[in-house]
Amino acid sequence: MKILGVDSTATAASAAVLVDNKIVALNYSNTGLTHSQTLLPMIEGVLASSGVSVNELDYIAVSNGPGSFTGVRIGVSAVKGIAQPLNIPCVSVSTTEVIAKPLANTGCYAVAVMDARCNQVYTAQFDCSQGFERVTSDEAITIDELGAQLMNITKPIVLIGDGTRVAYNKLKDIVPDIRCAAASVVYQSAADVCAIAADKILSDESGSTAPHDVLPNYLRLSQAERELKKKNNN
């Protein structure tokens, strides 16, 4: 099975190729350049490095959100543009799941946190004590609300994602036994997009979809939409 995985939902972007359950190539960039500049060249490069052509791909997987509105749109659009002409099946993967995946089987209670600005995070919680089990749905909530949710967790809590530091600084004196993930895994990777997609395909958990059925998951309105709604309600 050959899978191309793509993630551009946060500041970092990456593309990876999985062949028979092994990551054979990974391109990663966290330079601050816009994903419209970097993502397609990264995809071309990772395919070239892996020796896998687009025509050989069995699936294309993408983080479809939550995350940066622009980043989510770019990733989903790129994948649909590649997959549609060749009718390659696609797999949508939650960004929070991709973020937390490196903590699987580590004995902790993983909390994926993406910085959504204005004291808010995109978040979800996973029990990683013996495997990788989702506990909560993806949410857009304040850091204070997240802290209230975590107060009664008895396992060691590990924050992971680009919102880790801001969330930790606010919760460290409130939530017991909370810590930050290692810097080497705090940002999500397309390698985990591939791994999660492969698990879903093999377990038939959610299966794949046609390219046109891949949709972004924003969780909340954009700032422009929120301001317009606020203006119309006044």
Q: Per-residue pLDDT for 85 more than 80?
A: yes
In angstroms, rounded to a whole number, what is the distance separating the alpha carbons of residues 28 and 14?
4
16-25, 132-141, 211-220: lowest mean pLDDT where? 211-220
In angstroms, rounded to a whole number, what is the distance separating the alpha carbons of residues 73 and 79?
10
In angstroms, rounded to a whole number, what is the distance separating the alpha carbons of residues 83 and 126?
31
Write down the CATH superfamily of domain 96-180.
Answer: ATPase, nucleotide binding domain (3.30.420.40)
Q: Tell me the per-residue pLDDT of 199-226, one tens digit each, with 9 for 90 and over.
A: 999 887 666 899 999 999 998 755 544 4
Residue ranges of the chain assigned to CATH 3.30.420.40: 2-95+187-233, 96-180
Q: Tell me the per-residue pLDDT of 105-130, one tens digit each, with 9 for 90 and over.
A: 999 999 999 999 999 999 999 999 99
User: Across residues 37-42, what is the average pLDDT?
Assistant: 94
Per-residue confidence (pLDDT) for residue 205, from 0 to 100: 61
Q: Report the chain's C-alpha Rg in angstroms.
A: 18
103-107, 163-167, 195-199, 229-233: lowest mean pLDDT where? 229-233
Task: Provide the pLDDT confidence category of residue 232 given band limits of 50, 70 and 90.
Answer: low
User: Across residues 68-97, what is the average pLDDT?
Assistant: 97
The count of other CB atoms within 10 Å of the CB of residue 155 is 13
Half-sphere exposure of 39 (CA within 13 A, CB side): 27
For the domain spanning 2-95+187-233, the CATH number is 3.30.420.40
Name the nearest CA neighbour of 97 among 2, 7, 229: 7
**3-class DSSP state of 138:** coil
Per-residue confidence (pLDDT) for residue 174, from 0 to 100: 95
Q: What are phi and psi of 107, to 5 degrees?
A: 85, 5
Percent of the chain that is helix, strand, coil (3-state, to 5): 40, 25, 35
Percent of the residues in the chain that have a pLDDT greater than 90, as a whole number: 88
What's the predicted TM-score (pTM) here?
0.93
Q: Tell me the per-residue pLDDT of 139-156, one tens digit each, with 9 for 90 and over.
A: 999 999 999 999 999 999
